[in-house]
Structure formats: C-alpha cells, structure tokens
Amino acid sequence: MAEVHVIGQIVGASGFPTQSLFCKWGLHAGGAWKIISGVKEGQTQIDISQFDNKSYWSHPIDVHFATKGIQGWPKFYFQVWHHDRFGRDELYGYGFCHIPTTPGIHHLDCPTWRPTGSLFDSVNQFFLGGGPQLRNVNNIFCANDRFRLLTTSMGTVHLEVGILLRNFDKYGVELEEDISCYMEWAPMKHSNVFKTIQNYFIHSLTLTNFDLIWKIGQPVLALKSDDHYFLLGFPNGKSCSSTGPILYLIDTAITCEHFVNSKESCEENIFLNFSIYFNNKKIVENGTSNHTIDHFQCDKEYNNCNTGDFQPLIYNTTTEMCENVITRVKYTFFHNGIHGIVKSDVKLAVENVKGITKQHFEVEFKWANDSTEAIMKKSGNPGYLIGRPVIAAISTNNSIENISVLTFPFSEQTDKCPMSGVVNFGESLVFSCEVLIPYANLGAMCDLLRNETRYLNQLTFNTIGSYGDLNTTNLHNWIPINSYTKRNKLSTSSFPLCRNVSLVFRLTFEYALTGHRALPQSKIVAASFESVNTDYSFTCIGLKNCRTGIHRVSLRFLIAFINF
C-alpha cells in the first residue's frame, strides 16, 4: 500500500480577539485510508501569551497513513476555543486545510470562521458569552450544508509539517527520482513531483521553504547578488578552531590561522580578501524579504569605524608583507526574537601581515529595540552552565531590581581598569587595575590612594541569582553577597607607609550540584566579597628623581568558584 507520513507541529494561532486559547484538532480521510500509527485527533494546552497577540502551542503531530488510492486525501480540521477567567470555554472558530500533496517541509496557514446568529444571539453572546456552534463537526470540512451558514472570519491557525510519500508509483502516481530539491532552498512545484495532478487538491505549499518563526540554533541564510541562497558561516578549514554556519541567537568567536609567505599565499587566499565579506550579501529575514549587510572598516578594537574604501590584497615584494588583509571580522545581528533578524552589519579590521597570521571572527546578536523589556539570555536550565554569565541584581525592601549579568570591575569607576568583561560561571579569574598617584607629601598621597581605592571597594550590586534560569521575583532564588574586610599583618618596612589601604579584592562563589544524580544542576549557595587591607610603601619617597614623577599603584582582583 502507498504511505503518507505526516510529522510536524501545530505552531500556534494569530489574529484572534483575545488570548487564553486552546485548539481541538483532528484528521479526516476517505474510506480507502487507514491510520497505521499515531493518533488522529487531540487537544493543545491553553496558551496565554505575554509578548504579542499570538498563541503558541507547539503541539506535536505524528501520523502515518496507508492507502490504495488518492481519493479522500487527508485533511486537518480545527476548533479554536477561548478559556475565560471564569473558567468558561467559548468557541472562537472552525477551520480546515488539506495535508500537502508534495514531500518536504511545509508551513500552512489555516483560516478560521465561526457561525453567527440573529441580533438577539449576538447581544446574548456579548453579555453572556457562548454563541452558535455546529451540531456535527463534519460540517467543518464537508461542503454539503455549509452554504446555509452565516459566518464571520476569525484568526488563523499555523502549522509546520513534514510530508514523506512512499510506494505511490505502484498505484499510478509516480514521483520524480530527485525529490530532495527543496534542500537547495528552491520553491517546489507540484508539476515537478507528481506526473498525475489532481486539480481539486488545494495547493498549500508556500513559495519558499523558510521557517516563518525563527528558533534558536537555526542557521542564518544569506542571499548573493545572483539570487543564490547559502548558509552564512565561517571559513571551512583545518586551521580554524571551529567551522559551520552562523546559528541564530548563538554568539560565537573562532580563530583561524593562515601562513602568508608568498604572492600566491597572499593574493589567492579568498578569506583574507575583503570581497568575500563585501559582495553585496543580503540576510534573509523570511521567505519574502531580506536586507543588505552594512559594512564598516574599523581598528582592532572595532572602534573608529567608517565606510572606508576597501582595497584588494597586494603582496609587497620589498617588505614581503601582504597588505590590506582582513584580520578581524565581527557580525552584529539585530533581531526581534521569533520574528527574526531585521538589521545586520559586519565590522572589518585591516592590517598588513606576513608569516603566521591569525584571523578572528565574532558573531553577536542584539535586540533591535534595545529596550529594558528585552529578554535576558538564560545562563542555565535551570542550574548554571559552565561559561554562562553570572546573574546579579540589587535587593532593596524585599524586591529585586536592576537584574543584569555580572561584569568586572565591580564598580562604575571602570576607567582605572584596562581589563573588563563578564563574569562567567565556573571560570576563575585574576586581573589588575592601576591608579596613578602624583608626587606630594606622604599624607596627601595616602589620602588620594584611599580615595581612589574606595570606589573600587563599593559593589554596584548586592545579590546573586542562585540559578541560571530562575524566577526573578522569588526572593528565595537570590543569594546575598557577604562583604567584609580583612587586615593583613602590620608592615615593618623602613620606608614611609600608608596604613590600612585596600589593595586586594576577592569575589568568591560557592556552588553545589543539586537535583538528580544523572542530571545535576549547579546552584550558587554562597557569595562573598572580601577586601584585603594592607600597608603600602611609596618606595620612591625622598628620592630626587621621583619628586616630579607619578606613582603607579597596582590593585589585584580575584574571582574564584569553589565546588562543594
């Protein structure tokens, strides 16, 4: 027997008057069809969206049919219901759509409608809820009596299904040998798949095979000037720390090594040339729209950027240098969550190199609206994951405010510390900051040193999230930071001393593994911030060659993670 395999999901619904929706669904097929595996009907959960006017169910579908003919091709039918705050269920719409007749991935939009009654029924429905309903659900997909109904349009149900067809050639319907053409991101046409076309089939295939809802980990697609689609990614070679396409919402950094010692290794290496990053590429937003990547030429730190004139690779035989080499590439994608990428740019750093050359690639995703309402990335599920940012906040009056990732230095006075970044769970760190003390009398120098270190001794936060994915409003999920000061032994140096100055700072996290032994979760159980006071000696005091100089005082910071 011929087989039709339907695997996918009911993604959700949009366009309905209110939220708090659930869906009853079913599959109907003719008498020649038999379900050999899976269920033919079901019901989703109730979804109350907090972000937009769409409901998301992600309800799985896995049904397998066997048939001896194509008459009575299967179709989906739906009943969308609204669950109000009083616990009542109100019909919001009926709808149906045919299962696609071509193999591949399909995105279906199924419009819905609901019956309307008389004026009295409408007034009664407005105040009491409810409304007219079909006595027989077969009228949803059977056209025999539907012409008698008076209906009104409602929202749309969205599906994502994959179709596999098998053994149809034995029953007079032959498939082309190559049915995988959709993997090349080209539109599929029914005439390319079936040699026998049934004209009454509803063509439910979209123009392209792109996801309408973006998901984390989905490859980013780009479009060349010749309308050729490809996966935007990194150089593919053994000299790179990683390869593969750029994945949606996943920040990445890789390094590649190139050896440049001749004209050929310079001018024929396409990954060192600007043109591979500047060839009028466009980022695909969805199946019907795209935008051009903005290009900027910057310094090594991606600062001082401009839309400068990029030059091709040139090998200088005099200096044996390869000129105009792209040594750093940073993609920044601005997105709107499930609605995908709306803007993107690439920053390129240009240098002259020779010998072993390292090429750095970075990918960063940012929210397009850049608002405080944007969702912060999770650092665990729920326990912390190694390498994910530690979550910090300010606890005041039994409330949690200013939730963000923990960064170092820990004070707003960051101009004294050349090194800064994010504190990642499980990654211990040691770094230094430097303060400059101009020459003066000992008392003035000591007062200035204490004043400079006082800012670095004041935390801008006082609580740490115990889990990487936590309920931010539950105070039990936050760990207070215990701050204290430690005094080292008194110095016996013969040089003039500044007594009791904070020069060393330690931030310590103690964590434990909780939950099931097979899948332990890392939980921070304690956090402490310690400032170590010591006696500092200005060894240059009293020497003539130092009286007009500036003393550089080094401050040490230590971040430690301890597993119990």
CA distance 389 to 380: 9
Please state the rounded mean pLDDT for residues 54-72. Answer: 90
CA distances from residue 72 to 98, 136, 143 in whole angstroms, order as listed: 10, 19, 14
In terms of domains, do 357 and 227 share one? yes
Q: Which single residue is written with the structure tokens 């809820």? A: 129
CA distance 507 to 511: 13
b/e code 480-494 from CB counts within 10 Å (16+ = b): ebeeeeeeeeeeeee
CA distance 378 to 384: 9
Q: Residue 517 domain-assigned?
A: yes
Which band of pLDDT confidence, cut at 50, 70 and 90, is reported for residue 177? very low
In terms of domains, do 289 and 423 share one? no
Domain's final residue, options 110, 140, 171: 171
Considering only 84-93, 191-200, 297-306, 352-361, which range has the smallest mean pLDDT? 191-200
State the total domains in the chain: 3
Give me the pLDDT at residue 192, please: 40
Listed in order, strand segments (DSSP E) in 167-270 are 221-223, 229-231, 252-260
In terms of domains, do 332 and 393 share one? no
CA distance 256 to 112: 53
Q: Residue 201 domain-assigned?
A: no
Considering only 80-89, 408-417, 516-525, which range has the smallest mean pLDDT? 408-417
What mean pLDDT value characterizes the chain? 80
In terms of domains, do 346 and 432 share one? no
CA distances from residue 114 to 16, 21, 41, 238 in whole angstroms, order as listed: 12, 15, 20, 60
Which band of pLDDT confidence, cut at 50, 70 and 90, is reported for residue 182? very low
Q: Residue 147 domain-assigned?
A: yes
The residue that leads in pLDDT, 397 or 312, is 312
For the chain, give the percent of residues with pLDDT over 70: 80
Q: Quick check: 495 pLDDT over 50?
A: yes
Which band of pLDDT confidence, cut at 50, 70 and 90, is reported for residue 539? low
Please state the rounded mean pLDDT for residues 145-168. Answer: 86
Please state the rounded mean pLDDT for residues 165-192. Answer: 52
Q: Residue 304 domain-assigned?
A: yes
Max distance between CA atoms of the chain, in angstroms, equals 107
Backbone angles phi, psi at 197, to 5 degrees: -105, 130
Cis check: omega of the bond before 235, within 30 degrees of 0: no
**Pairing relationship of beta strands 341-353 and 294-298 according to DSSP bridges:** parallel
Range of the domain at 465: 388-563
**CB of 457 within 8 A of CB of 500?**
no
Please state the rounded mean pLDDT for residues 286-299. Answer: 82
In terms of domains, do 345 and 240 share one? yes
For the chain, give the percent of residues with pLDDT over 90: 24
Summarize pLDDT for 404-413 with one digit per residue, the tens. Answer: 888 876 554 4
CA distance 560 to 522: 15
Q: Is 24 helix (H, G, I), strand (E, B) or coil?
A: strand
In terms of domains, do 356 and 434 share one? no
In terms of domains, do 503 and 435 share one? yes
Q: What is the DSSP string of 511-552?
A: EEEES-TTS-EEEEEEEEEEEEEEEEE-TTTT-GGGTTSEEE
CA distances from residue 285 to 185, 422, 460 in whole angstroms, order as listed: 14, 30, 39
Considering only 60-74, 280-294, 535-549, which range has the smallest mean pLDDT? 535-549
In terms of domains, do 424 and 552 share one? yes
Summarize pLDDT for 17-26 with one digit per residue, the tens. Answer: 888 899 999 9
Residue 317's nearest CA partner among 261, 258, 257, 259 is 261
Q: Residue 123 domain-assigned?
A: yes
In terms of domains, do 347 and 311 share one? yes
The residue that leads in pLDDT, 189 or 504, is 504
pTM for this entry: 0.45
Q: Quick check: 240 pLDDT over 50?
A: yes
Which band of pLDDT confidence, cut at 50, 70 and 90, is reported for residue 372? very low
Residue 505's nearest CA partner among 395, 410, 420 is 410
- 3-state SS, 138-178, equals HHHCCCCCHHHCCEEEEEEEEEEEEEEEECHHHHCCCECCC
Instruction: List the helix and strand counts (H, then E) for the chain.
Output: 4, 29
Cis check: omega of the bond before 496, within 30 degrees of 0: no
Q: Residue 480 domain-assigned?
A: yes
In terms of domains, do 423 and 455 share one? yes
**CB of 212 within 8 A of CB of 286?**
yes
Q: Which single residue is written with the structure tokens 């105070």? A: 475
Give me the pLDDT at residue 336, please: 83
CA distance 501 to 454: 9
**CB of 197 within 8 A of CB of 176?**
no
Q: How many CB atoms lie within 10 A of CB 432?
A: 11
Provide the CATH number for the domain around residue 10: 2.60.40.150
The residue that leads in pLDDT, 352 or 435, is 352
Q: Residue 6 domain-assigned?
A: yes
Query: Which residues make Cβ contacts (< 8 Å) with residue 519, sequence separation at least 6?
Result: none
**CB of 352 within 8 A of CB of 384?**
no
Q: What is the DSSP string of 402-460?
A: EEEE-EESSSS-GGG-S--EE-BTT--EEEEEEEEEE---HHHHHHHHHHHHHHHTS-S
CA distances from residue 24 to 82, 127, 175, 220, 455 in whole angstroms, order as listed: 11, 25, 34, 34, 61
Q: Residue 190 domain-assigned?
A: no
Which band of pLDDT confidence, cut at 50, 70 and 90, is reported for residue 437? confident
Considering only 60-74, 366-380, 433-447, which range has the smallest mean pLDDT? 366-380
Give me the pLDDT at residue 370, please: 59
In terms of domains, do 539 and 417 share one? yes
Backbone angles phi, psi at 490, to 5 degrees: -65, 140
In terms of domains, do 161 and 58 share one? yes
